[in-house]
Amino acid sequence: MSTIKPVVNDRSISNLLSGLFSDPVTGLRCIEGGLIAQTFVFRAGERDYVIRFNADNMDANFDERLLCYQCYIALDGMRFFAKSDNHDSYKWTTDRIEDLIGSRGGILGVIDG
């Protein structure tokens, strides 16, 4: 499985932490594992800290992610309405999701970009 962890070097983190803490920063080390955040532990003064760095990709593919979320919610609603025999709400939800997908060139157009 691929990772989206940012690559952050120890020197950059040391410089950052030195600017944030008045006490000396000691024991800086990377914690292995995880797929999203690059995690470090360190000590400043008498306290232990953990700092995590995530890739700044919140805006990446936002429209596609929003569409996927809307489809997820709509499909869950369709499941509920189908089980409860609420045909009018099922039809309304189906029409809305078809409008969403259709306005973006169909689901394959969204996936294929």
Q: Would the pTM of this model clear 0.75, i.e. be above it? A: no
Whether residues 44 and 66 fall in one domain: no
Domain, as residue range, for 41: 10-54
Whether residues 96 and 66 fall in one domain: yes
Categorize the per-residue pLDDT at 25 as very low, low, confident or very high, splitting at 50, 70 and 90.
very high
Categorize the per-residue pLDDT at 110 as very low, low, confident or very high, splitting at 50, 70 and 90.
very low
Query: Does 1 fall in a domain?
Result: no
Whether residues 74 and 100 fall in one domain: yes
Per-residue pLDDT of 32-67, as tens digits, reads 877 778 889 999 999 999 988 887 655 566 777 778
Find out whether 41 and 31 touch, Cβ atoms under 8 Å: yes
User: Residue 44 forms beta bridges with which residues?
Assistant: 25, 47
Which amino acid type is present at position 72? Y
Whether residues 74 and 49 fall in one domain: no
Is 74's pLDDT higher than 70?
yes
Strands 37-44 and 47-54: antiparallel
Query: Does 90 fall in a domain?
Result: yes
Query: Does 2 fall in a domain?
Result: no
Query: Does 87 fall in a domain?
Result: yes
* Domains: count for the chain: 2
